[in-house]
Amino acid sequence: KVRLHQEHQETMKKFAIRAEERYRREKVLALKKHEEAAKLKIKQKETAMRAATKKHKNDIKEKLAKVHKSQTLLLEQTKQENEAILANSLKSQKLQSDNVIRKVLQRAKQDRNRLLGSFSHQENLRLALLNAALNGDAVSLNDMFARTEIDRESMFIANNKEVQGHAYDFLPLHRVVSGFHFHNDPNKVVEALLVLTKHGADKNAQDRAGNTVLHKALQVMSSIAIV
C-alpha cells in the first residue's frame, strides 16, 4: 500500500508538472497571439492613418489649387478692369489736354493776329528782325536789310518814349546774344552781329538796364565763346 501510494503521488506530481508546463505553453502562445494581434492592429491603424493623411493632403492640394486658380482669375479680371479704366482715363485726359492745347493755340493765334494788326508795317518788320536776331539767322537778316522799304534807323531804336509798342522794347544786338541761350552756337552769334553792325547797329547802344551788347554777352555766354 505504501509503495502504491508513493507511485500514485509521483504520478500525480508528474501530471501536475505536465499540466503546469502545458498551461505555461498555452499562456505563452496566447500572449504571442495577443501581441501579434496588437501589432497587426497598430499596423492597420498606421496604414489607415497614412491613407487618411495622404487623402487629406490631396484634398488640401486640390483646395489650394482651386483657390489659386480663382485668385488668378480674379487678379486677371481686376487687371483688365484697371487697364480699361486707365485707358479710358488716359483717353479722356488726352482729349481734355488736346482741347485745352487747341484753345490755347487758338487764343495765342488770335492774340498774335490782334497784336500784329495793331502794329504798323515797320513794327512788324522789326518783330521779324528781332526773331531772326534771336535765332542767329544771318541769312534772313541780310534778306530783310535788302528790302528798300525797311526803315533802318527805326530798326535800332530802343527806350525811346516817343516810340510805343512791344516791338521797340528790345535791341537787335542784345537779342542776338540772348539767342545763345537757345541754339548755343557762337558762330551764329558772330555772323548775326556782323550783319547788324554792317547795317548800322550801334555797338555801344544800351538796353533799359544800361547794358551794352558786350555786357550782355558777359552775362549770357562763357568767356571761351566770347573770345
What pLDDT digit, counting tens, does each position of 115-126 carry?
445 445 667 777
User: What confidence tens digit (pLDDT) does each residue in 117-155 have?
Assistant: 544 566 777 778 888 888 888 998 888 888 756 666 666
pLDDT on residue 206: 83
Whether 207 contacts 178, CB under 8 Å: no
Share of the chain above pLDDT 90, in %: 17
What's domain 120-226's superfamily in CATH?
A: Ankyrin repeat-containing domain (1.25.40.20)
Q: Which residue has the cell 530783310?
A: 144
pLDDT on residue 40: 92
How many H-runs (helices) and E-runs (strands) does the chain carry?
A: 9, 0
pTM across the whole model: 0.44
Domain ranges across the chain: 120-226
pLDDT on residue 151: 64
Q: Which residues of the chain fall short of a pLDDT of 70?
A: 111-122, 148-169, 222-227
Q: Is 197 exposed, middle or buried (0-12, 13-18, 19+ CB in 10 A)?
A: middle
Q: Which residue has the cell 539767322?
A: 137
pLDDT on residue 43: 92
Q: What is the Cα–Cα distance from 12 to 8, expressed in whole angstroms? A: 6
pLDDT on residue 42: 92
**129 contacts: CB under 8 Å, gap ≥ 6:** 141, 144, 155, 172
